[in-house]
Amino acid sequence: MKTVIHYNNRKYEIDLSKPIDISIPLRASDDNVNAWYVEPPSIEPVVNGDWVGKVSEGASVNFNEIRFNPHGHGTHTECVGHITKEFKSVNKALKQFFFLAEVVTVAPEKHGDDYAISKKQLQYALGNKKRDALVIRTIPNMKEKLKQQYSHTNPPYLLEEAAVWLRERDVKHLLIDLPSVDKEKDDGLLLAHKAFWNLSGKVRKDATITELIFVPNSAPDGTYFLNLQIAPFENDASPSKPVLYKIET
């Protein structure tokens, strides 16, 4: 089903019947993707006395409770409230849900004892393109990312200079297939988060960071429309479902 989107005084045609889901589903399993030292998520029926909220056990409905951490258990979108003393909700920060996005593939480079993404790499990947959203796929890009256990593995991250450059390019929505844009153990510095949201200047309250995505190899680098869907949690972060649509014309 093709439709025309009017965006920034231009017309774009996309096919709504061909979505590219770049979220990682949340499952009650030990091999659910995991980061930040939390236990696996759980999805269990409510038990109230002799009543169990499960049709297979005699209830008329399935009635589950879900325990999870949005930052540690899958694809999530966060606002500046993730790093501020004052409470700020991603549900209030994200008011628009379609964006012109660029998908780029980057191989993190050796940086001391780590691997990281530099400003130079992003400059080369994005060039002079003006985009509201940037989707970063790192390589190697294998399906193991769907169940990766990231805690204590020192995964790649974004250098502060790269986050500053994205802010200066006015990229409002950053999506990446890593558990964080910052180093796993950085003594709480959070340099890339702070730089992207401009915490020391005019804070970008409407900017978001989405982590733990998975961009299939079948989706080539290039320009897409991004539909960034979040659950309406009044929290600094929410589980999210970013969906890409190839631009037809």
Q: How many domains does the chain have?
A: 1
In a domain, 41, yes or no: no
C-alpha separations of 126 from 147, 182, 193, 195, 207 in Å: 29, 20, 20, 19, 18
Q: Of 128, 146, 117, nearest to 214 (Cα)? A: 146
pTM greater than 0.85: yes
Q: Is 152 within the bounds of a domain?
A: yes
* Tens digit of each residue's pLDDT (9 = 90 or more) over 36-65: 999 999 999 999 999 999 999 999 999 999
- Give domain status of residue 148, yes or no: yes
- Give residue-wise pLDDT tens across range 185-206: 999 999 999 999 999 999 999 9
With respect to residue 49, please indicate whether it lies within any of the assigned structural domains: no
Is omega for the bond preceding 179 within 30 degrees of 0, making it cis?
no
37 is a domain residue: no
The set of residues, in sequence order, having a beta carbon less than 8 Å from that of 6 and lying 6+ positions away, is none
Q: Which residue range is the domain that position 75 belongs to?
A: 2-26+70-246
110-135 residue pLDDT tens:
999 999 999 999 999 999 999 999 99
Contact 216, 180 (CB under 8 A): no
Whether 163 is in a domain gets the answer yes
User: Residue 166: which CATH number?
Assistant: 3.50.30.50
Long-range CB contact pairs, 106-112, < 8 A, 24+: 106/136, 106/137, 106/138, 106/139, 107/138, 107/139, 108/138, 108/156, 111/159
| Alpha carbon distance 59, 24 (integer Å) | 30
166 in a structural domain: yes
Residue 48 lies in a domain: no
